[in-house]
């Protein structure tokens, strides 16, 4: 669409721009950490980092799915609604035990993913409207299920997912939520980089027609990507509920689609598809988390931290425009 009008300046290999395009998010992450090392007292402490890592988990888990969707040149706006749906389902079935409740909550997310994916893959609806309709309807359904009420969750197993740690009582204890997130990061990274599914996904995002003509199962892969995104969002909703100790479908995951998209894009995954950067996505999510934490610790009002976030998105995308490196 843009060949005729866009003149792309090709960054030379080894040029400053090329370096920033590839490693900008890591440089930014390093700079934020250095700033805090110098200016923020008590930032470099185990407890603080543990808090930061636990707080980033929902955004990170959602961003992993978002990265896959964006890799196919799609977008998933319904992730916040899926989190709300999962949060609403957990207390309903907690009577049957924690594991069944969690599985049913994830299944609820899968249904949303199937609807999203079917609309995109089989009918050809644009991802942005398909997932927009479920973003609106999904949260409504979540609120109806929960009777528009906040419900406390007291099941110890569920609570442990958000608050418990491995090696409890030790200074190096590792929160279960962080362990789950790390496992999911590894699984998704392997999925993208080491499996046929990952290669096909990238091929579809790079050039759908070519992928179709090459006989790739385009529809099935598109469907799978939205289902995976919804499943991850449901897991994020369960972890978020566990951390709060309450199911709050009215607010959980509000605007998380924006944070997740930001993390993915800042991490170097282009919105035009064909590339997925999992390590970059992790770095992007951490960058956003550390920036927010930095602003909070320096008593910057929320309003300004939103403006800073907006500026970061623009700067990241500005640097990445016209990027030509493939993988």
Partner 1 sequence: MTILETSAGPAPRSQVNRERIAALAQSYGAAVILVILLVAGSIAFPTFLSVSNFANIATQSSFLLIIAIGMTFVILTGGIDLSVGSMYALGGVLAAYGSHWGVFGAFALPLAVAAVIGAIQGALVAYAKMAAFIVTLAGLLGVRGLVYAITNGGSTTPLIQDPVTAAIGQGGLVGLRWPVFIALAALVIGSVLLSRSRGGQAVLAVGGSENAAALMGLPVARVHFSVYVLSALCAGLSGALTAAYSSSGVPNVGVGLELSAISAVVIGGTLLTGGRGNLVGTLAGVLLLTVIQNLINQVGSLSSSVQAVVSGAFLAIVVIVQTVLARTQRL
Name the residues that contact partner 1, by CB under 8 A.
1-6, 75, 115, 119, 123-126, 128-130, 132-141, 143-144, 148, 209, 212, 258, 261-262, 265, 271-272, 301-307, 309-311, 313-314, 317-318, 321-322
Minimal distance in Å, beta carbon 54 to partner 1? 24
Largest alpha-carbon pair distance within the chain? 63
42-50 own/partner pairs: CB under 8 Å, 24+ apart = 43/294, 43/297, 46/171, 46/172, 50/173, 50/175, 50/178
Nearer to partner 1, 143 or 179 (CB): 143
Minimal distance in Å, beta carbon 90 to partner 1? 18
Interacting residues of 24 by C-beta distance below 8 A, sequence separation 6+: 268, 316, 319, 320
Minimal distance in Å, beta carbon 30 to partner 1? 23
Report the interhelical angle of 218-244 vs 46-71 (nearest 10°).
160
**What stretch of H or E contains 152?**
strand 151-152
Pairing of strands 165-166, 151-152: unpaired
* Pair 56, 66: CB distance under 8 Å: no
Minimal distance in Å, beta carbon 271 to partner 1? 5
Nearer to partner 1, 107 or 129 (CB): 129
Nearer to partner 1, 111 or 125 (CB): 125
* Pair 66, 74: CB distance under 8 Å: no
Q: Cα separation of 176 and 216, whole Å?
A: 38
Quick one: 172 exposed, middle or buried, by C-beta within 10 A (0-12, 13-18, 19+)? exposed
Minimal distance in Å, beta carbon 177 to partner 1? 26
Minimal distance in Å, beta carbon 183 to partner 1? 30
């Amino acid at each position: 669409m843009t060949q005729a009008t866009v003149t792309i300046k090709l960054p030379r290999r080894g040029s400053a721009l090329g370096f920033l395009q590839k490693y900008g998010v890591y440089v930014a992450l390093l700079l934020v950490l250095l700033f805090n090392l110098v200016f923020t007292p008590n930032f470099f402490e185990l407890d603080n980092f543990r808090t930061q890592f636990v707080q980033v988990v929902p955004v990170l888990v959602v961003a992993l799915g978002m990265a896959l969707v964006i890799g196919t040149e799609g977008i998933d706006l319904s992730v916040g609604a899926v989190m709300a749906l999962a949060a609403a389902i957990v207390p309903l079935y907690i009577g049957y035990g924690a594991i069944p409740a969690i599985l049913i909550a994830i299944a609820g997310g899968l249904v949303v993913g199937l609807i999203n994916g079917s609309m995109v893959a089989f009918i050809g609806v644009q991802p942005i409207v398909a997932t927009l309709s479920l973003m609106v309807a999904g949260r409504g359904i979540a609120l109806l299920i929960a009777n528009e009420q906040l419900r406390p969750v007291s099941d110890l197993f569920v609570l442990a997912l958000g608050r418990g740690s491995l090696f409890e009582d030790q200074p190096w204890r590792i929160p279960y939520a962080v362990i789950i997130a790390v496992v999911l990061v590894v699984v998704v990274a392997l999925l993208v980089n080491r499996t046929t599914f990952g290669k096909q996904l990238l091929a579809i995002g790079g050039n759908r027609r070519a992928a179709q003509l090459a006989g790739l199962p385009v529809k099935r892969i598109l469907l799978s990507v939205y289902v995976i995104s919804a499943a991850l969002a449901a897991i994020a909703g369960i972890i978020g509920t566990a951390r709060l100790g309450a199911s709050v479908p009215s607010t959980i995951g509000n605007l998380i689609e924006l944070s997740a998209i930001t993390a993915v894009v800042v991490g170097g995954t282009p919105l035009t598809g064909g590339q997925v950067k999992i390590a970059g996505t992790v770095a992007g999510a951490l960058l956003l988390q550390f920036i927010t934490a930095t602003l909070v610790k320096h008593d910057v009002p929320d309003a300004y931290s939103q403006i800073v976030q907006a500026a970061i998105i623009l700067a990241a995308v500005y640097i990445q425009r016209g990027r030509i490196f493939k993988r």
